[in-house]
Amino acid sequence: MKTIAIRGGEVVDATGSRRADVLVEDGRIAAVVPEGEGRDLVADVTLDAGGCVVAPGLVDLHTHLRQPGAEEAETIETGARAAVLGGFTCVLAMPNTTPAIDSAGVAREVLELGRAACCDVRTSAAITVGRAGEQLTPMAELAALGVRLFTDDGTGVQDGRLMRRALEYASALGVVLAQHCEDAVLSGGGAMNEGAWSSRLGLPGQPAEAEEVMVMRDVALARMTGGRVHFQHLSTRRSLELVAAAKAEGLRVTCEVTPHHFTLTEACCASYDPVFKVNPPLRTDDDVAAVRAGLASGVVDCIATDHAPHTPEAKEQPFDQAPPGMLGLETALALALTHLDLPIAEVLALMSWRPAAIIGADDAHGGPIAEGRPANLCVVDPSATWTVDPDRLASRSRNTPYAGMRLTGRVRHTVVDGEAVVIDAEAQR
């Protein structure tokens, strides 16, 4: 394995920031020395970090890699390549594949494919068999494989009694349940946020309450069981207020938001372009402001991409028939740096060490940049500007709503397990 010297950057992690050079040997950080004192460091590869921030690699808790079953939209290989170009050294695959990741056999298949990928690919598993909401998966067997987060993502667990049982079981296993908060009866096939815009456009709407009532229910179940609940891609002001109250009460709840829910609003749907169709849907200006405030206040624990690739054929259907979802891995960090009024250290906390801690990946990712630690790092140029070009993205799909948008902040290098997998913004494999 080649040794790597990262020179001239500002090292930023949970312990603070300092000007330093970093030496990587045998997959681990061998030395972190004050800038200028590392002139004698000998390495096979030197990565220029001048004007850049050297940070722990980013961690995404919400990545749709589509494999098995929908490889025409994405594979673990192509999704991992998109991830490292976006600065992610670890991604958590969602279980709404075909078949669903609801058994040890399918989980092993995903993990085996992930071993050949250019980043650390971990997998979640479904809470219920087939994500059908009727029978719990063999959670103990899946946990024994290393699964640390269970979710029926794409659908919420509708049966409150079943969710209670799942929380009690998960507590005994020491794993986290993550919830896609959507009351299926209230959402009723809505294609966008219910409100003035849906009425104007003649599109079926999904009310904010469809998300909020399930947040309310699962906060109550967390109180009842003492279990851990992670709320996925929250999108409304009231949802975040419920989470804030639960945290103030001392309940074991965490939550994530996505870049599209702090950069885009329901007004984008006026074009009838299905690239703007997501679930939960894009919300109001007030909700976007609340999401940004939640990120600044600490109510929101992390930013997750909800990277959801779809083929052009799937997305080119009428708005109300097209599948929800958009790409996210390569643009997430730049969107946060461009649109959030937060210091870069806080953005990194939201995208690196905090999500790593939620799934227990902080032994390898998101930890301090210190001697002996695994070398999973990203080097970010916070002043670089670039324009999103769908044809230049690494994903097999092209469904990004940010085509043509000019963003500030770009990943220059990414190091995974001591290997430079991105150099000068180009993937190496």
Residue 306: active-site member = yes
Rounded mean pLDDT of 386-394?
Answer: 98
If DSSP codes are grouped into helix, strand and coil, which group holds residue 90?
A: strand
Categorize the per-residue pLDDT at 36 as very low, low, confident or very high, splitting at 50, 70 and 90. Answer: confident
Residue 392 Cα to chain centre, angstroms: 21
Does the bond joining 274 to the residue before it have cis omega, within 30 degrees of 0?
Answer: no
Q: What is the pLDDT of residue 41?
A: 73
Phi and psi at residue 373, to the nearest 5°:
-75, 150
Query: Can you give the residue ranges of every domain in the chain?
Result: 4-54+371-427, 57-358
Please say if the pLDDT value at position 367 is more than 70: yes
Q: Does position 82 have pLDDT exceeding 90, yes or no?
A: yes
Tokens for 117, please give them.
């990928």
Rounded to whole angstroms, the Cα distance separating 204 from 192 reads: 7
List 60, 120, 301, 306, catalytic entry: 306
Considering the chain, what is the average pLDDT of its residues? 97
Decide which of 2.30.40.10, 2.20.25.90, 1.25.40.10, 3.30.70.20 is the CATH code for 4-54+371-427: 2.30.40.10
337 Ramachandran zone, left/alpha/beta (phi>0; psi -120 to 50) = alpha
Pick the CATH number of 57-358 from 3.20.20.140, 3.90.1300.10, 3.10.110.10, 3.60.9.10: 3.20.20.140
Q: How far is 172 from 140, CA to CA, in rounded Å?
A: 9
Q: Which two three-digit tokens encode residue 170?
A: 């998960």
Q: Residue 39 — very low, low, confident or very high, per pLDDT cuts 50/70/90?
A: low
Q: What is the pLDDT of residue 62?
A: 98
CA distance 129 to 262: 33
| pLDDT tier at 206, thresholds 50, 70, 90 | very high
In the predicted structure, residue 284 carries a pLDDT above the cut 70? yes
The stretch 80-109 carries a mean pLDDT of 98
Cα gap 223→241, rounded to integer Å: 16
> What per-residue confidence (pLDDT) applies to 352?
98
Quote the CA–CA distance of 260 and 215 in Å, as a whole number.
20
pLDDT at 38: 64
Model confidence pLDDT, tens digit, residues 131-169:
999 999 999 999 999 999 999 999 999 999 999 999 999
* CA–CA distance, 411 with 344 (Å, rounded to integer): 13
The pLDDT of residue 222 is above 90 = yes
The answer to whether residues 143 and 177 touch, using CB atoms and an 8 Å cutoff, is no
Mean pLDDT of 32-39: 80
Instruction: Classify each residue of 110-137 as buried b or exposed e, where b means 16 or more C-beta atoms within 10 Å of its C-beta.
Output: bbebbeebbbbbbbbbbbbeebebeebb
Reply yes or no on whether the pLDDT at 411 is more than 90: yes
Kindly report, residue by residue over 50-78, the tens digit of the pLDDT.
Answer: 999 999 999 999 999 999 999 999 999 99
Proportion of the chain above pLDDT 70, given as a percent: 99
At 1, is the pLDDT very low, low, confident or very high (cuts 50, 70, 90)? confident
The CA distance from 338 to 303, in Å, is 14
